[in-house]
Structures are given as C-alpha cells and as structure tokens.
Amino acid sequence: MDRLRNSFLGQAWLILVLAGVFGALLAAVHLRLSPRIEENIRAEIMREIPGLLLGGEAVEGASITIEGELVTIEPTSGEPRALTIVEQPSSTPALYRVSEGESGAPLGWVARGQDHGYADVIDLLVGLTADTAQITGIYVLNQKETPALGDGIVRSDFRSLFVGIPTDSPLTVGRDAAEAAKSPYAIQALTGATVSSRSVCQIVNDTVAVVRNEIAGDVEDHDERP
Amino acid sequence: MTFLVILLASSTLLLLAVFMSFVLGWANKAFYVEVDPRVEQIDAVLPGANCAGCGYIGCTDYAEAVVNEGASVALCAPGGESCAEAVAEIMGVEVEETWPYRAVVHCGATLPQRLGVNDYRGERTCTAANLVAGYQGCVYGCLGLGDCVEACTFDAMKMIWGLVQIDYEKCTGCGACVETCPRGIISRIPFKAERVLVVSCSNEDFGNDVRKVCTVGCIGCGACAKLSELFTMDANLPTLDYEGAAVEEGDFEKSMEKCPMESLLYVGKPSAEDLAATIDEELPGRVEPDFETTVDQAEWRG
Amino acid sequence: MELFADLLLIAIGAALVNNFVLTYFVGLCPFLGVSRRLDTAFGMGCAVTFVISVAALLSWTMTEFVLRPGAPLPNWIWSSLNPAAEAGEVDLSVLSYIVYIFVIASSVQLVEMYVRKFFPPLYKSFGVFLPLITTNCAILFACLEIMKHVVARDWGLAESLTLAIFGGVGFTIAIVLMAGIREELELCEVPESLRGAAITMIVAGILALAFMGFSGIGANVEKLLNP
Amino acid sequence: MSVREPAPLERFLNGILPENPVYRQLLGLCPTLAVTAAMKPAMTMVAATAFVLICANLITSLIRHLLKPHLRILVFTLTIATFVTIADRTLAAFAYPMSKLLGPYVPLIIVNCMIISRCEVCSSKQGPKAALADAIGVSLGFLLALASVATVREILGNGSWFGIQLVPESFPTLILMILPPGAFLALGSLLGLATWFGHRRAARASEPETGSA
C-alpha cells in the first residue's frame, strides 16, 4: 500500500479525484444544457430565413414563432403566413428548403456558407429563389471583422445590395458606385473594407455554385425545371 | 444513456490526469537536479534585495556561489553583520572579521566653489549632462543633477547645494550609486571605524589647471603624502589603500593642516564638535525653497 | 504549393496582422510586467514561443482525437461499449477548456524541469518567467484558436503549429519593441501620475495603432499567391 | 501563519478600492481591454467572472488543507476551468447573442491572473467566510474598473451607453475608441487618472502632519 502511497499517483491523488469529479460535473451540465444551445442556434437561423426569402420589409416588426419545422410570421399589418423549413443533406454547412404553408409550393432555398474573411471566419446565410436563378438576400451569422469598418457587412444597406442579383455568373466587387453600376453582377464595396466585401462575395459565389449544381442535380429527377 | 456519457467524460479526464501524473512523476525522477539544500537556506536568510552589492547577479546567485564556489560569507552589504553570521552558521564556517562597505563621494565642491559653471538647459540628468562639454569648469567632479539620488533605493543621498551628501545611517553600501554615476566619483570602501578619511576630489590635473576650475580641488602637491606614508600619489591625487593598511589609526592632523586646498575630509558619523555646533539650531517646520541655493527639479524652459 | 500559400497566410496573419498582444489583447500580464529590459523581454518571448508550440502540438492531438464532435477515440469506445446503440455522436467538446489548461500546466512544468536539467544557464535567465507563463492568456488563446479552426475548417497539424509558432513570434516582436521603447522612456520626464503602467499602456496603444498598418499585408499577399 | 490574516470585512473592503484588482494590482487586464467596447458585454463578463471567482474561492478554501505546495497551481486552474466551462455553457444557453459577442474571451477567464492570485493569496489560507467576502469585494472592484473603461470607450466610440443612444447620430464619434488601440489609450489614461487621485489623496492625507511641526 505504501509503495502506491509514495508512487506518482499517491502524491497527486487530489488531482485525480478532482479530475474525475469535474469530468462528471461537466458532462452533466453539458447534457442538461446542450439541447438548449442547439435550440438557440437553430432558432437564430429559423428566425432569419423568412426575412431572407420574403424580403426585409415583409418581416419588419413581425412576431415569429417557431415550432419544429413550421415557422409562422404575424406581421404587424397583413395576415399571418406559415412556412415549413426542411433541412436538406448537402455539402454546404447547411441547406434549407422553404415551402409555403404545410406542404405548399417550394418558395426558395437558404444555404449557409463559411470561409476565411479578412480577420477571421465569416459565417453567413444566402437566400435563393426556388429555381436558384436569383439571390433573394444574405444575412451574416457571425464575423469578427474590424469594428466600424469591416463589420459594415452586417448592416441592412450592404445586405440589400445582394437582393435580386441573378446567379448565372459569379458576383464581382465594384470599388465605387460607377463601377458597380456597369454590370448587374457587381456589388458596391463598403468604403474602407474592400477585403471584407470581397470575401463576402466570394463566400456567396461558392455557396451559390454548390447549391446550384446540387439543386440542378435534384431538379432533374423532380418535376419541371423552369 | 446519459449516465454512460457522464462516465465516459469523467473517465477520459481521469485517464488524462493519470497519464499526466505518470509523465510528471517520471520527469521529476529523470530530470532531478540535485540542489544543495543549503542554497535554499542561505537564499531564505539573504535580504533578497537583489542589489548585486556582493558582485553577483542576485541573491540566489550569491547563495549558489557561497555553497558551490566558496565565496566569502560576508559579501552581502545590505545584510550586514547579522546576515553574514547567519550564512556562516549555515555553512558551518566562523565569520572572519568584516566591515560594512559604504559609499563615499570623491568630490567636495558645492555649487559656489565650482568655477566656470554654465547655464545648462538640457535634460536634468547626470548621464545627459555628462555628454555636454562645458557644463562646468571641472571635467572630473560632481555634476549635481542627482542620478545617484534617483538610483539610491535606501534614500540615503541628498543633493545639498549642488553636491551629493550621503546619510550614513541609511547607506547600506549596495553600490547602486557607484554604477549610475557617469563620472565614477563614488566608490565603496570598508568603514573600519565610524569616521574614515576620504580624499574629496578626483581632479587628475595639476596646480593652476585645478585652481582655474575649482576652489577646493586637490592640486596634487603631494604635501599630505610627504607627511604620512599611508598616502600614495597617483595621477596627481593622493590615494588611500583601505583594504590593506590600518587607515583608521593613521593621524592625518598634520596632513590636513598642510593641505592648501582642504581636499581631505572625514566622513561617517558626525564628530562631537559638529554635533555640538548645530545642537541648538531650530529645525524649520516647513522648509521654504529659496531659489538661489537649491537646484530646482522642475524644468522651466524660459 | 497551395499548402505553402496557406501556411504563409496564416503565419503573416498571426505574427503581424492579428498580433496576439496588440489586437487580441491576450498575454498582457507578462507584456506589461516583463518588458522593462530588452534581454529579459527577448528571453520571455522565446520562452512563450517555445511553450506555445509544445502546447499547440499537444492540444491539436487532443482536439483531433478526443475533443472534436466526431472524434474517433470516444466514438470507438462508445460503439464498442454498446454495439446496439444507434450511430449516436459522442461529443466531448465540453471538456476542451479543462483539458487544455491541464495540458498547458503540465507542459510548462515539463519544460521547466527539462530546461533546469539540461540548460542551467538558460534556466537561470528564465528563472521566474516559466511558472508565470502558465497563467499567460496567449497560450490558452492559441489553443482555443486551433480548436475553433480544427472544428470549423479542419486544420491539420501543419497549420496549427504555424499559427502557434508565428503567434509566439508576433508576441516576441511586440514585447521586444515595447522593451526598446520603455528603455528610452527611462530617460525622459514622464509626468508623476503616469509613471509605470499608465505610460506603458499609452505607448502600447500607439504601438497597436502602428500595427494596424500591417493590415494591408494579408490582403496583398493573398492576391499575390493566388492571382 | 505568523502574519495576522485580515478579517473577512477587511478583505471585502480592500477588494473594492484600496486593492482594486485592475487599477492597483494591474491584474485581469486582458478582459478589461478586450470586452469593454460596450457596456453590455462588459457587464456580462463581470457577471461571469464574479460567478467563477466566488465558486472557485469557496471550493479552494474548503479543500485548502489537502493542498500540496507544488501541485496547488494545478488544482486552482482545474477548479477555475470547470467553473468557467459551466459559466460559458450557461451563457450560451440562456444569453446566446451575448455569448456570441464575447466569443473567445469567456474561456480566457481561466487564465485571468486576478482569479488565480485571489485563490492563492486569500482562499488557500483562510476559511470560506473570508474567501467569500474577498471574492465579492474583488468582483465589485472588477465591476468598477470595467464599468469605468467601458463607459469611456462606448460614449466616445459610438455615442451610446448601455445601448441607449445618448448623442444625436450626426455627432462625430471617435471610432478609434472601439478599435484595439483605443482600448490601450483609454485604460492608460484612466490608470494615470487613478494614480493622480491616489497621489493627491495621499498628499492631502500626509499634509496636516507636517503642517503643525
């Protein structure tokens, strides 16, 4: 017994006991809280999807309730609408098929994209019409760009630039309004944050490309292709 | 299901802890560096000011030197007697006679006694003033800007009338001032008695060159050396060998009278007459700064 | 070639663009405490770089094989324990912080013993810094960065080590610059109340402003590497 | 222990101002600079640190007799790491946007020099009562420090306080204050101010003695 006592374990028995107890404690806390955390993450995405597809103003000030895959929006004016959002298996970090009401017509797709921005990872959602021909909007989930410069990509005026841009050719970044007006695919870069704007466009292009060939692949065996 | 996950988590951590304690235990054995326990004991006894007065980088360094290289047990100036005895007793060595080392300034000229002092508007530090030619007549003596006062951690130095004065109750001989003085006119000498004679000048010129720049500088005439063999003239300056000869017994009365420039001073405990002279003076409550005498620290750029 | 470009980008990012001390504010305690003299600062920088790479090595292996949501080790144990169970994922990522701090503390202890045994003069000059490094935020921050990138963009060992080493190099650059400036600071007349930490903070702020100038490098190198 | 251990109340009062962890002891600077871009994240960080500090202090003071000298730092870090993970998970569960905003700085509480020093200085020597008082005192001190830096930076940075817009939109704001260099400058000047107050108070306190010689 004393060989064990003054052996390595003997001296550090307090550490072993603490490690064991804390391991159990942490696992218990994790099990109790992780469903709530998943729920939070999922809720944040679910709350943004309607805004992405129906346009910002439609959901302005609306109260959104989420039950599983059914999202009901009660806008201040006009009648409530219900959307079902189903997560599709896809190579993008996440792809959701959004359709009207319980089993209505497909309204559009929302895909999630992640890549290295200027300072750190940029994680965003891209909304596409049902036939993936047009971008209906983007929403930045999280980013660590330089405050007051790069983090302009979160503001609604920058996001609104992406609405309605066709997706048949990749987006480009115009340094200023004139350059941006030249081609329908050009976005006017944020002043002083061209790198961030370019990375956002890069992520949107990659995600849209992946979604298009995946959806194009699915649509063949589905019904008509517009 | 949940019970299994909790078990898995705590067992992973337990496994990691066991693995780590084994690795550390093995490393403890494999990398064991036998440290002489006496080094720690001595280190605990030393004051720990890391003042390098003993000539080593820090107290732990000195402790190792005492144990491994047999350095003398009494080099710790701030520690003084008590520390030397404690270290000796740890080492099992009896303490040979030691004297406290103290700092001494080899310049005796206050501001009015220096000649050719110019109006210096540069940085108020000795290191900076030392770079400027023509700061004052004498190129060897004290600049009076207080780098040593700044460096002294025992608050034993005061700048009075442009010349640094050392308060021997507080001075521990740590040697910080010796290093910082850009002109190197402060030295550490063993005080074998309460009052020790010091040559209060480091001007190596001769005769009139000294008189042109200072009214109390030693002109190197050698009168003191003729009268007492303890002095040895070197570069027009009498030097005393404090380590060797019994400097404290030598009677320097005659030499001090003969010295034309009164560059020989007794430093240390104030003598009986000095104390008597100032005993009845009333210490002023608040010292009002009169601008003629004090070198004002505040920088005023005209 | 593509891997090299990636590594170069990470290296420049960690050392200059997103300097650990000046943009992420980690490792400030030694940055303020030790940057009084140049040689001690450089010694501290090397010690941190050395320990950060050892810690990154260990923490990458732990993350890759144990802590990642789909990590092989716990799942293998899990499936062998109850083969009937559905392919439920076992996720031990909650243990990550405690595992990292365990790994860091033990690696610092190991490094200290190793250096004390084989490089006594080096150990003497590091002296008090090594235990101080355990509480250094830069090391844990490097581990967390590596974990985030391994989980998000499954980095290999090469990328993680580059981030760690060049993070350490960035730390050394910042602390040596700071030591140089502070040695100059001794000579000038600092107002009474600003002496010590306050003036160091302000000087660090200006240094951080200067480091923001490096931000262009990242983008240009990227353009250079993949036109 | 030869030195007299301060009473719990004394520990509590010391923690707030005389030995303020950030201004006096210069500990815990990493979070003070990192999260004080705005008041909301700063206050969440203070709440998380307070929770971790109080639990860690309690646990260490309960097991202080079992501690072995050379392993005590490892025990402290283990306890603190556990409570930080719990804090991080609860924050992610109940205040998800705030946890996303604070990001990597919540786990960095583990290596916050302030907590480890409190564990070592106070709770590994004294009973739970003193440790608790000390923890609360130091947390209040930390709150004070972070609040002061966050107020300065948020008002100068984007003209708001706790999210409430104080200054009309057209008012020019000092973006620098939100950027990392601004954090250094803000804390540097506040430290200078604190020392200046300290000197003045000390000077005024010692003034009357020398006056009446």
pLDDT digits (tens, 9 = 90+) for A164-219: 888 878 888 877 777 777 777 788 887 767 778 888 888 888 888 888 887 776 54
pLDDT at res. B294: 54
Closest chain B C-alpha to C172 CA, distance in angstroms: 24
Residue numbers of chain B with a pLDDT score lower than 70: 1, 35, 48-55, 57-58, 77-80, 94-98, 244-250, 283-302
Question: How many CB atoms lie under 10 A from the CB of residue B40?
Answer: 14
Count of C-beta atoms within a 10 Å radius of residue C160: 26
In a domain, D204, yes or no: no
B51 and B179 in contact (C-beta within 8 Å)? no
Burial of D65 (0-12, 13-18, 19+ CB in 10 A): exposed
Q: Is the CB of residue B4 less than 8 Å away from at least one CB of chain C?
A: yes
When pLDDT is cut at 50, 70 and 90, the band that residue C192 belongs to is confident
Judge whether B15 is closer than 8 Å to chain C, CB to CB.
no
Would the CB atoms of A23 and C95 count as touching at under 8 Å? yes
Residues of B in contact with D210 (CB under 8 A): 285-286
Substitution target from B7, B16, B18 for chain A, most A beta carbons within 10 A? B18
B291: Cα within 13 Å, side-chain hemisphere: 2
Residues with Cβ within 8 Å of D50's Cβ and at least 6 positions away in sequence, in order, are D135, D136, D139, D142, D143
- Closest Cα in chain B, distance from residue D35 (Å): 31
Indicate if the alpha-carbon torsion angle B260, B265, B266, B271 is positive or negative.
Answer: positive
The DSSP output letter for A134 is: E
Rg (CA), chain D: 19
Examine residue D166 and state whether it is found in any structural domain, yes or no.
Answer: no
Interface test with C, best of B3, B5, B34, B123 (most C CBs within 10 A): B5
pLDDT of residue A223: 43
Q: Are A218 and A86 in contact (CB under 8 A)?
A: no
Q: To 10 degrees, the CA torsion angle through B128, B130, B132, B137?
A: 140
The proportion of chain A whose per-residue pLDDT surpasses 90, expressed as a percent, equals: 0
Q: Is residue D206 part of a domain?
A: no
Note whether B187 and B178 are within 8 A (CB). yes
% of residues, chain A, pLDDT over 70: 85
Question: ∠C98-C102-C107 over CA atoms, to 5°?
Answer: 150
- What number of C-beta contacts closer than 8 Å exist between C and D? 127
D95 CB-near residues (< 8 Å, 6+ apart): D44
Strands (E), A101-200: 106-116, 121-129, 134-142, 165-166, 172-174, 186-188
Q: pLDDT class for C9, splitting at 50, 70, 90?
A: confident
Q: Which residue spans within chain D are E strands per DSSP?
A: 160-161, 164-165
- Distance (Å, whole) CA A60 – CA A75: 7
* Both structure tokens of A210: 């992946």
DSSP state of A152: G
E-state strands within chain B: 101-105, 157-160, 163-166, 186-190, 195-199, 231-234, 237-240, 264-268
Residue holding tokens 């955390």?
A37
- The position carrying tokens 């559009």 is A108
**Helices marked H in B31-93 — which ranges?**
37-45, 59-64, 80-91
Alpha carbons within 13 angstroms on the beta-carbon side of residue B57 total: 7
Are B165 and B156 within 8 A, CB to CB? no
Identify the sign of the CA torsion B23, B29, B35, B40.
Answer: positive
Nearest to D39 by CA among D143, D136, D193: D143
C11 CA to chain A: closest CA distance, Å?
A: 13
The predicted pLDDT at position B301 comes to: 44
What whole-number distance in Å separates Cα of residue D126 and Cα of residue D11? 11
Q: From residue C137, how far is each of C100, D77, D109 by CA, in Å?
A: 12, 13, 9
Give the Cα separation of D12 and D126 in Å (integer). 13
- Between helix D72-94 and helix C96-118 the angle, nearest 10°, is 150
CA diameter of chain B: 104
- pLDDT tens digits, A31-60: 888 888 888 888 888 888 877 777 777 677
C-alpha D125/C-alpha D57 separation (Å) is: 11
| 3-class DSSP string for D143-171 | HHHHHHHHHHHHHHHHCEECCEECCCCCC
Torsion of CA A35, A39, A42, A48, to 10 degrees: -170
d(C-alpha D40, C-alpha D46), whole Å: 10
Please list the residues that pair with D36 across neighbouring strands. Answer: none
Residue B122 and residue B129 in contact, taking contact as beta carbons nearer than 8 Å: yes
Element (H, E) at A70: strand A70-74
Residue D60 maps to a domain: yes
Please report whether residue D201 resides in a domain. Answer: no
- Residue D85 within a domain: yes
Rounded-to-integer distance, Cα A103 and Cα A98, Å? 10
pLDDT the model gives residue C172: 92
Residues paired with A106 in a beta bridge: A99
The label of the residue with tokens 């030392």 reads B130
Residue of C nearest to B21 (CA): C106
Q: Tokens 């009365």 belong to which residue? A: B253
Using an 8 Å CB-CB cutoff, list chain A residues near C152. Answer: 114, 121
> How far apart (Å, rounded) are the C-alpha atoms in residues C90 and C73?
10
Q: Which residue has the tokens 């036109």?
A: C227
List CB contacts (< 8 A) between D119 and chain A.
none
Q: What is the pLDDT of residue C1?
A: 67
For the four alpha carbons of B3, B6, B9 and B12, in that order, the dihedral sign comes to negative
**CA dist., res. B223 & res. B211, Å (int):** 17
Report d(CA A154, CA D169) in Å as an integer: 18
Q: Residue C86: is its pLDDT beyond 70?
A: no
A30 to chain D: nearest residue by CA? D89
Nearest CA in chain C to B17: C102
Count of structural domains within chain D = 1
Consecutive H or E run containing A149: none
Q: Kindly identify which residue of chain A lies nearest to residue C17, measuring between CA atoms.
A: A119
CA pair distance B64, A122, nearest whole angstrom: 56
CB–CB of D115/D109 below 8 Å? yes
Q: Give A134's strand partners.
A: A166
Helix (H) or strand (E) holding A65: strand A63-67
**H or E element at residue D78:** helix D72-94
Report which residue type is found at D27. Answer: L
Say how far apart CA A100 and CA A222 lie, in whole Å: 18
Q: How far apart (Å, rounded) are the C-alpha atoms in residues D33 and D181?
A: 10
Taking CB atoms and an 8 Å cutoff, what residues of chain A touch D158? 148
DSSP class of residue D177?
G
List, run by run, the mean pLDDT of 10-residue segments along chain D (213 residues). 65 78 80 86 92 91 80 83 91 87 83 81 80 89 91 86 78 81 90 87 71 43
Q: Given A9, A11, A19, which is nearest B13 (Cβ)?
A: A19
Instruction: Give the torsion sign (CA, B192, B197, B200, B202).
Output: negative
- Could you give the CA distance from residue B265 to residue A19 in angstroms, rounded to a whole number? 71
Please check whether residue A121 touches C, CB under 8 A.
Answer: yes
Q: Does the residue D198 lie in any domain?
A: no
Q: How far is residue D47's CA from residue B44's CA, in Å, rounded to a whole number?
A: 41
A58-106 pLDDT per residue, tens? 677 777 777 777 777 777 777 777 777 777 777 777 788 888 777 677 7
Mean pLDDT, rounded, of chain C? 81
Distance CA B112, CA B130 (A): 19
Task: Using DSSP bridges, classify how beta strands B264-268 and D160-161 pair: parallel, antiparallel or unpaired.
Answer: unpaired
**Beta carbons of D77 and D116 less than 8 angstroms apart:** yes
Which residue ranges make up each domain of chain A? Answer: 42-224
- CB pair distance less than 8 Å for C98 and A22: yes
Is the separation of the CB atoms in B42 and B72 below 8 Å? no
Note whether D78 contacts A142, CB cutoff 8 Å.
Answer: no
CB contacts, 8 Å: B283 with chain D: 213
Phi, psi of D139 (to 5 degrees): -65, -40
Decide if the complex's ipTM is over 0.90. no
Query: Are the beta carbons of D144 and D20 closer than 8 angstroms?
Result: yes
The parent domain of residue D55 ranges over 8-147
Structural domain contains residue D65: yes
Mean pLDDT throughout A4-18?
70
